[in-house]
Amino acid sequence: MGCFVGRGGYGDGVKRVVQVRLEANSAQLDALTRTLIACNQTADLVSQIAHTQKVYRGRDLRAISYAQARQHADLGSQVAQSCIRKVADSYTTLKANLRNGRYGTPGSTRGTKVEASPIGFGSLAAQPFDDRCLSWAHDLASETGGTVSIWTVDGRMKGLRFTGARDQVALLRAHRSGETDLVIGRRSRGGQLCAYLIATLELPDTPLRTGAHLEVEEGWVGVDLGIENIAVTSDRPLAKELMDNYGAGAPDGPAGRGSVKDRRTRNRETREKLQKKNTKSAKRLLRKRARKEARFAADVNHQISTRIVAEAERTGRGIAVEELTGIRERVRLRKPQRATHASWAFAQLGAFLTYKAARAGVPMVQVDPAHTSQRCTDCGHIDKRNRTSQAKFLCRACGFTAEHADILGADNIALRGPDTWAQSTAPSAA
């Protein structure tokens, strides 16, 4: 069972997704499976109608597809409408991805192919249920479960027990609202199918910690993002920990397969070999490896962000990080470093830091990164020649030598934390 969180920004509430497992016997699991299949077959039908008639908005799509959706698999009214909403939401996401270049530039072969085909849904793709189709009954005598009543193609299934971690069930009981997704998947590779319910919760904001300490550099943990080391902080013990575990010199790395940089290098070399082959099997393997690499990057980003936020929360400091918008265009790198830098999800790391800081009530600011790697923290002199190598810094003006150039960059970022914080919290003019 998993628990994930997300947040758009301060004041928007903290979103948490809680997953619980349904204790369904073979007959119940079969009914739930057939329900998902029927819902997704109906969604495919509605998607075909939407694509053929070029109607994608929820209300308009419902007007032209509701009758067929009801009749196709003899679905209940509310379930049929959920299928239609799922299709409409999927096309909204597709259009956004096309606009943002997710499938290539406008008019590209891939983008044109995606637009030319209706969206399809896997037979066991998640299906949302609202409170009219799925109701919850929490067991007051148990902190780890309860029962649900859920609509299926075989009729209403009542008294179906669910279980989850104690903290997740407590959150579910206190904050659940809106739709819940039914998901059927395997608990492990090659394992038996299991049914799960995934609910999105919106928790109230955690008050931000404020105080006079945020007016000085020492009140901030500066975070520098880089090539050799994904993240380095102005906090020395934490910087050493992150460099030892995730830096280029890490002997084992988080997965025991060498440093993160080494693994990224091996992944890039493998991608290049597969791209040169340009066969169907190579393309299929590339897609599979891309998903694996994305999971690895997300796991590392979660570990790094969790550790930074935990340390800031423990010491009562804020987090200052360089602006992430346009980081690839802004950073000037030698050719061998470009692919390495571009292949890491720094924006994702920033997003993880943002929502985890918000959840913990830790102040966080994005500062102007200009010259943070070139500025001497001792005398303030700025010169690109100060950074003699990736790891070494020697001030041309005063002779100051930094213990590590990345740590110096983090120090400069922390130095800009107070002013940026003051500007972001200043009252606006009436």
Mean pLDDT, range 274-282, rounded to an integer: 86
Higher pLDDT, 185 or 342: 185
Angle at 269 between CA 266 and CA 273, to 5 degrees: 135
Short-list 328, 35, 25, 325, CA closest to 156: 35
Helix (H, G, I), strand (E, B) or coil at 311: helix
The owner of tokens 């698999």 is: 73
Short-list 325, 352, 23, 316, CA closest to 192: 23
Exposure class string for 121-131: b at 16+ Cβ within 10 A, else e? beebbbbbbee
pLDDT recorded at residue 343: 56
pLDDT recorded at residue 309: 96
Higher pLDDT, 273 or 39: 39
Determine the Cα–Cα distance for residues 416 and 124; give it in Å rounded to an integer.
Answer: 50
pLDDT category at 341 given cuts 50, 70, 90 is very low
Chain centre distance of CA 379 = 40
- Kindly report, residue by residue over 301-337, the tens digit of the pLDDT: 999 999 999 999 999 999 999 987 655 554 454 554 4
pTM to 2 decimal places = 0.66
For 364, other C-beta atoms within 10 Å of its C-beta total: 27
Query: Are the CB atoms for 28 and 182 separated by under 8 Å?
Result: no
Share of the chain above pLDDT 90, in %: 50
What does the block give as tokens for 164? 């989850």
What does the block give as tokens for 394? 């020697």
- Kindly report, residue by residue over 363-412, the tens digit of the pLDDT: 999 999 888 988 999 899 999 888 888 788 999 999 899 888 899 999 99
Residues 6+ apart with CB under 8 A from 297: 344, 345, 348
pLDDT recorded at residue 167: 87
Mean pLDDT, range 420-428, rounded to an integer: 81
pLDDT category at 284 given cuts 50, 70, 90 is confident
The owner of tokens 């919290």 is: 425
Exposure class string for 85-118: b at 16+ Cβ within 10 A, else e? bbbbebbeebeeebeeeebeeeeeeebeebeeee
Higher pLDDT, 7 or 348: 348
- Kindly report, residue by residue over 135-153, the tens digit of the pLDDT: 999 887 788 889 999 999 9
Query: Are the CB atoms for 349 and 246 separated by under 8 Å?
Result: no
Q: What is the mean pLDDT of the chain?
A: 86
pLDDT recorded at residue 249: 67
Determine the Cα–Cα distance for residues 417 and 415; give it in Å rounded to an integer.
Answer: 6
Determine the Cα–Cα distance for residues 351 and 7; give it in Å rounded to an integer.
Answer: 8
CA atoms lying within 13 Å on the CB side of residue 424: 16
Helix (H, G, I), strand (E, B) or coil at 314: helix
- Kindly report, residue by residue over 9-67, the tens digit of the pLDDT: 334 556 788 999 999 999 999 999 999 999 999 999 999 999 999 999 999 999 999 99
For 66, other C-beta atoms within 10 Å of its C-beta total: 16
Determine the Cα–Cα distance for residues 244 and 364; give it in Å rounded to an integer.
Answer: 25
pLDDT recorded at residue 41: 97
pLDDT recorded at residue 214: 92
Mean pLDDT, range 328-348, rounded to an integer: 58
- Residue extents of the structural domains in the chain: 1-205, 212-425
Share of the chain above pLDDT 70, in %: 88
Determine the Cα–Cα distance for residues 286 and 270; give it in Å rounded to an integer.
Answer: 9
Higher pLDDT, 177 or 309: 309
- Kindly report, residue by residue over 258-268, the tens digit of the pLDDT: 677 777 778 88
Higher pLDDT, 12 or 230: 230
